[in-house]
């Protein structure tokens, strides 16, 4: 993931698609810092996919009663709903951990950069 470091006002924040190369605080050019996604980030994608599949199965079987999803009959809807909320909650937690780890990494890179100057 990409971070934006502003040498003018010394702020570091995740780079958004809309802010591009500009600092959100003072609008001056910022330095892009790229941090590799961690296992948390990868797990987050995986868990999100699981949540989406559960939602699809839930809607398909319990709401639309599509016959392809009849294998879901052995599960109660409560279990599926709990699974959906559980996986969404887990995805949020993993995203938070990934962002925190990435921020720490970006800060470390900035400290190294500043140290060189
Ligand atoms: Zn700035």
pLDDT at position 19 is 65
pLDDT at position 48 is 96
Tell me, in angstroms, the distance from the centre of ligand 1 to residue 14's CA. Answer: 13
Q: Indicate if 22 and 67 belong to the same structural domain.
A: no
Confidence (pTM): 0.75
Q: Indicate if 45 and 27 belong to the same structural domain.
A: no
Tell me, in angstroms, the distance from the centre of ligand 1 to residue 98's CA. Answer: 24
The count of domains in the chain is: 2
Give the structural domain span for 12. Answer: 1-34
Q: Indicate if 13 and 54 belong to the same structural domain.
A: no
| Residue-wise DSSP of 44-106 | HHHHHHHHHHHHHHHIIIIIS--GGGGGGGGS-HHHHHHHHHHHHHHHHHHHHHHHHHHHHHH
Check if the beta carbon of residue 48 is closer than 8 Å to that of residue 14. no
Tell me, in angstroms, the distance from the centre of ligand 1 to residue 11's CA. Answer: 6
Tell me, in angstroms, the distance from the centre of ligand 1 to residue 54's CA. Answer: 43
Residue 18 has pLDDT above 80, yes or no: no
Q: For the beta carbon of residue 42, count every other beta carbon within 10 angstroms.
A: 12
Check if the beta carbon of residue 105 is closer than 8 Å to that of residue 35. yes
């Amino acid at each position: 993931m990409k971070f934006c470091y502003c040498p003018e006002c010394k702020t570091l924040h995740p780079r958004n698609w809309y802010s591009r190369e500009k600092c959100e605080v003072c609008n001056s050019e910022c330095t892009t810092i790229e941090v590799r996604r961690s296992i948390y980030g990868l797990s987050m994608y995986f868990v999100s996919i699981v949540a989406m599949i559960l939602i699809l199965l839930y809607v398909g079987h319990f709401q639309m009663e599509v016959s392809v999803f009849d294998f879901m009959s052995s599960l109660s809807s409560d279990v599926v709903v709990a699974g959906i909320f559980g996986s969404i909650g887990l995805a949020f937690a993993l995203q938070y951990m990934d962002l925190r780890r990435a921020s720490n990494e970006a800060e470390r890179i900035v400290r190294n950069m500043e140290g060189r100057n």
